[in-house]
Structure 1
Amino acid sequence: MAKSGKSNPATCTPEELDEIITAPSGGIQMLPSNAYDEVYPGIYIGEESIGKSRIGLRDMGITHVVNTAMGKGQFHVNTNHVMFKRVGIQFYGFEAMDMLNFQLTPFFEKSANFIEQALNEEGKVMVHCKVGASRSATIVLAFLMIKRYMTVQEAVRMVRAKREIAPNEGFLQQLCDLNDKLYYSGYFDKKPT
């Protein structure tokens, strides 16, 4: 329902996004084949092993880390700002569950601002979760939409070209909702040329 009276050619569904994600693998959902991948200049998506490797991150030139799966449970990665401060890496993290009904939307703006700050400082950002496919991918996709004026379809195509991702259906719906919000506010029309 177009608030501005115009129809949204960028409207999406989780099914459409899933088709974009699975197209390169013949319609099959694939888990990441690498511990991490650079999916946009200066932005990496990774799994727990690299997210916990302070020395490995430092040696890669990572200056900022976003842990989208903070916590001590089986599906979380137990890191914090103290362990990264020792190696000069700035840290932002939050506890999120990879569940259909978990709301990641409240973390979109703050995460996007943190990533943007890192890039503005010519830094490199590792955004990670447990597997590096759902929570972390969703946050990077939201960043590309909010800070790089990409539609959700453009963002998904770009990231999927670099890494196998698998945001759950609930997260895909939240990205579609963000896409609609940005579209109807005229945000995509403000894209710098």
Structure 2
Amino acid sequence: MSKQSTIDRFFKVSSLFNQNSIQEKRIESKPIKEQSNKTKRVKKMKGLDLFFTVKPRNGESALLRNERLRKQLIEEKKKIKEEEKARKKAIKEKQKLLQKKIEEEENEAARQELERQEKEFKIRKDGKGVEVCPGVFIGTQLTAMNLNWLQEMEVEGIVNCTKNITCYYNSQLNENFKPEDYQGITNKEYLRIPIDDDGIIPIDSYFDQTYSFVEKIRNKGKSVLFHCKYGKSRSASLLTFYLLKKYQITVNAAKELFKKACWTIEINNHFYVTLKEYESLLLNNGQQKRRTRKVDDITPELSEKIENIVSEVMSSQKIRTASQKLQIVNNKVIEP
């Protein structure tokens, strides 16, 4: 790839950050009569058309709850949008530095990282998550709001790693949601882990219940979503623990799995130290003692485990896609 094409590619990626604001300006500049029906619908939905299009059942109480739920999602989406502005600015600065590195060194690894960032940005922007190991996903608050995506990925268990983000789709935890208001929707099962990034509450006190919860949902053949605000530290830490225990791998190997799934994590120091201590116990058969082997490098054995997990994820995705296609065909046959 030439230097010029790489530069062109970079500016194309960077333009994604401003795409939404440009489109909004275009819509505002048009006379109201000239706006398409699709534009009017998107405006009416206030952006929720991306991930909340399930029709409520008839009935005054169901319609009222549905309206309250939509208002709740819209208000929280506004807050997220404001916070995202600052984060996007920081991402732009990082991409500028990365582009400079490409121009100076023509570094293939840097180009691959730019492609990975492009893919991750789209995933986060669409309010979706990524599958890190078979049936286990990580995402953001937006992902937890995205009922369409949760249904598509067959997510029935959600690990909410925050103190105050709403458990949206359980009627006992959110009065604005009733599963009977919607066709084919059931209550999601939640595990709330009430932690902050300050490290005051030891994260390892939640290790056992997190592992048990995930295994219970997976044994039913359903998927699990880990999320916090941005899916970078709290939820990433607990999912890293799960990966260590489930697959007997190291923290660095777990980080490699996140990277292959196109998801950036930034585990804070408090959680990282706790995970490294657990890693040490794991490698020394439960004994707290001096490390007997170097664990910072990805050994051939760990590389093989990583590739096997990635292969299992791909198989899981193919099976899920085939199942969805079959369901669509069956629905068409049932229709009169």
TM-score > 0.5, shorter chain as reference: yes
Does structure 1 residue 185 correspond to structure 2 residue 278? no
Does structure 1 residue 167 correspond to structure 2 residue 274? no
How far did residue 100 of structure 1 move? 4.3
**Any conservation in 1 of the 2:214–2:224 contact (CA below 8 Å)?**
yes
Q: Which residue of 2 aligns with 1:117?
A: 216
Q: Which residue of 1 aligns with 2:155?
A: 62
**Any conservation in 1 of the 2:228–2:235 contact (CA below 8 Å)?**
yes
Q: Which residue of 1 aligns with 2:233?
A: 134
Aligned-partner residue type, residue 147 of structure 1: K
**Any conservation in 2 of the 1:133–1:166 contact (CA below 8 Å)?**
yes
Question: How far apart, in 2, do the equivalents of 1:112 and 1:124 lie?
Answer: 14
**Any conservation in 2 of the 1:58–1:89 contact (CA below 8 Å)?**
no
**Any conservation in 2 of the 1:116–1:147 contact (CA below 8 Å)?**
no
Q: Which residue of 2 aligns with 1:37?
A: 130
Kindly tell me: are residues 184 and 46 of structure 1, through their superposed partners in 2, closer, same or farther at Cα, counting changes over 3 Å?
same
Alignment map for 1:64-103 (pairs within 5 Å):
64-71=157-164, 77-79=165-167, 81=170, 82=172, 83=174, 86=179, 87-103=186-202
How far did residue 153 of structure 1 move? 2.2
SS in 2 for 1:156: helix
Aligned-partner residue type, residue 285 of structure 2: S
The structure that is strand-richer by fraction is: 1
Mark the runs of 5 or more structure 2 residues left unpaired by the alignment.
Answer: 1-109, 115-119, 180-185, 288-336
SS in 1 for 2:158: strand
Does structure 1 residue 153 correspond to structure 2 residue 241? no
SS in 2 for 1:63: strand
Question: How far apart, in 2, do the equivalents of 1:155 and 1:42 lie?
Answer: 16
**Any conservation in 2 of the 1:141–1:159 contact (CA below 8 Å)?**
no
Question: How far apart, in 1, do the equivalents of 2:227 and 2:178 lie?
Answer: 17
Aligned residues: 157
Residues 125-134 or 155-164, more deviating: 155-164
**Any conservation in 1 of the 2:195–2:234 contact (CA below 8 Å)?**
yes
How far did residue 186 of structure 1 move? 5.5
Kindly tell me: are residues 153 and 89 of structure 1, through their superposed partners in 2, closer, same or farther at Cα, counting changes over 3 Å?
same
**Any conservation in 1 of the 2:130–2:138 contact (CA below 8 Å)?**
yes
**Any conservation in 2 of the 1:67–1:94 contact (CA below 8 Å)?**
yes
Kindly tell me: are residues 125 and 152 of structure 1, through their superposed partners in 2, closer, same or farther at Cα, counting changes over 3 Å?
same
Larger relative contact order (Cα-Cα within 8 Å, sequence gap ≥ 6): 1
Bigger Rg, which one: 2
Question: How far apart, in 2, do the equivalents of 1:131 and 1:159 lie?
Answer: 14
Aligned-partner residue type, residue 45 of structure 1: I
**Any conservation in 1 of the 2:167–2:190 contact (CA below 8 Å)?**
no
